[in-house]
Chain A
């Protein structure tokens, strides 16, 4: 208990004495944690968006003219037993025509003048969001194409997959950046703590000579590192909240139609807390690195 009180008062004294260096360490730590937070925020938003887009990605089964009710029942069975389908709706040819006319009013008259409805009946299939990117969806499409009564299956995933690869690459680059920044923050804090250690080598010598426990000798320095990291994390967190609140609406407005307000959400509480805890941990490691030399 006394060791903790001692460490707190000495760490505070030391940070205040070298407030310029302390500020620098806090800012380095907060910069790296801010970038980390931003990447997490962008990452979770992007995957939420992709999930929604994947689920909405059209999986349509077009029926051949004159598909029999038996064939339709077989198609429904294939869809139902695949385990990939959240819902399916039968769209009769007349309904398909109505939709087409609504979407392209300019062409409606031309189509209506045709002797027969050129649009086939189809099933609009909704995939289960969590399985929408599963390779088995491709196999289901292939299986359906073979089935009697099916004229075509439209399942275009190429653009989604390209997007996924892009997001994956961005994530890797982001992680590398975060690793470098984390290391930089840790070493900056270690450097500042080493400075404090150097400034107090006379005290450390006295402590050693009077037989002070190691906790008293190293404690203040480890705590100093931890507090620097923690403060950096809190600053980063505050800036992140600010950026989120200011940036959310403009982004949703800018990408109207593609990005919904619900896609851009703040980090879940657990992630936010680990971000702050991570800052403290980075600082603690920095403090330990520096204090290791004092025994």
Chain B
């Protein structure tokens, strides 16, 4: 609940299975971003519980939140790449600030870069990349720690349909390897082309789970 009694989400009961690939859709303002913010523990709900991996997110201490977030990868519509760092530095930034050894950082970075097909751009800065390439870097960064859960909020909002599908294919690959994926998008056409379980929200209410 935001200030002055605006409910972004109401009476929402939703279970997502481990290893599922779920689209979260609905019109703008339906509460998709809010649900993802709750799942990344950027906000806590004013009422109700979120249970992830058997643990309640609202009851976590600050250090438990840190530990929890290390198992979650995230991708945003605006990429959130660090403009002053190269592709390689952007990707290794995550294991680096988690104190992992340089050799491990390097091995993981090459693995995910190869996977998103950007191993030839590792010394480029984000502004030298196309939107699709930037989002692939963001996906690589989300995957570098082998997360159990990946949250993506409108990850293709700034991309044309072909690039969007390319990103979705990356998510499908991740999912095929056992990672739970939750993608928020209002792009019904994209959902139709990917064809996965879809949860629809409207004015903060669950209207469809198919």
Q: Which residues of A contact B (CB under 8 A)?
A: 2-3, 6, 17, 202-203, 205-207, 209-213, 216-217, 295
- With an 8 A cutoff between CB atoms, is B17 at the interface? no
**A211 to B69, Cβ gap below 8 A?**
yes
Given pairs A17-B84, A209-B42, A211-B68, 6 additional interface contacts (CB within 8 A): A3-B99, A6-B97, A203-B93, A213-B98, A216-B99, A217-B97
Least CB separation from A9: chain B residue: B96
Least CB separation from B69: chain A residue: A211
Size class of the contact patch on chain B: 20 to 34
Known contacts: A2-B99, A6-B97. The answer to whether A212 contacts B80 by CB under 8 A is no
Least CB separation from A2: chain B residue: B99
**B40 to A209, Cβ gap below 8 A?**
yes
- With an 8 A cutoff between CB atoms, is B169 at the interface? no
**A211 to B99, Cβ gap below 8 A?**
no
**B74 to A211, Cβ gap below 8 A?**
no
**B83 to A206, Cβ gap below 8 A?**
no
Q: Which residues of A contact B84 (CB under 8 A)?
A: 17
The 4 closest A-B pairs by CB, nearest first: A211-B69, A212-B97, A211-B66, A211-B70
**B82 to A2, Cβ gap below 8 A?**
no
Distance, CA A210 to CA B99, complexed state (A): 12
**B40 to A212, Cβ gap below 8 A?**
no
**B80 to A206, Cβ gap below 8 A?**
yes
**B80 to A205, Cβ gap below 8 A?**
yes
- With an 8 A cutoff between CB atoms, is B44 at the interface? no
Distance, CA A79 to CA B95, complexed state (A): 79
Q: Which residues of B contact A (CB under 8 A)?
A: 40, 42, 62, 65-70, 74, 80, 82-84, 93-94, 96-101, 145
Known contacts: A202-B82, A206-B80, A209-B74. The answer to whether A216 contacts B97 by CB under 8 A is yes
**A213 to B99, Cβ gap below 8 A?**
yes
B67: which of A207, A209, A211 is its contact (CB, 8 Å)?
A211
Known contacts: A202-B83, A203-B82, A203-B93. The answer to whether A212 contacts B74 by CB under 8 A is no
Could you name 27 residue pairs across A and B whose Cβ atoms are closer than 8 Å?
A2-B99, A2-B100, A2-B101, A3-B99, A6-B97, A6-B99, A17-B84, A202-B82, A202-B83, A205-B80, A206-B80, A206-B82, A206-B93, A206-B94, A209-B69, A209-B74, A210-B98, A211-B66, A211-B69, A212-B66, A212-B97, A212-B98, A213-B98, A213-B99, A216-B97, A216-B99, A217-B97
A210: which of B62, B69, B83, B101 is its contact (CB, 8 Å)?
B69
Q: Which residues of B contact A210 (CB under 8 A)?
A: 69-70, 94, 97-98, 145
Distance, CA A212 to CA B145, complexed state (A): 12
B68 CB to closest chain A CB (Å) equals 7
Q: Which residues of A contact B96 (CB under 8 A)?
A: 6
Least CB separation from A295: chain B residue: B62
Distance, CA A153 to CA B152, complexed state (A): 95
Q: Which residues of B contact A6 (CB under 8 A)?
A: 96-97, 99
Distance, CA A84 to CA B69, complexed state (A): 74
Q: Which residues of A contact B66 (CB under 8 A)?
A: 211-213
Distance, CA A202 to CA B74, complexed state (A): 15
Q: Which residues of A contact B62 (CB under 8 A)?
A: 295
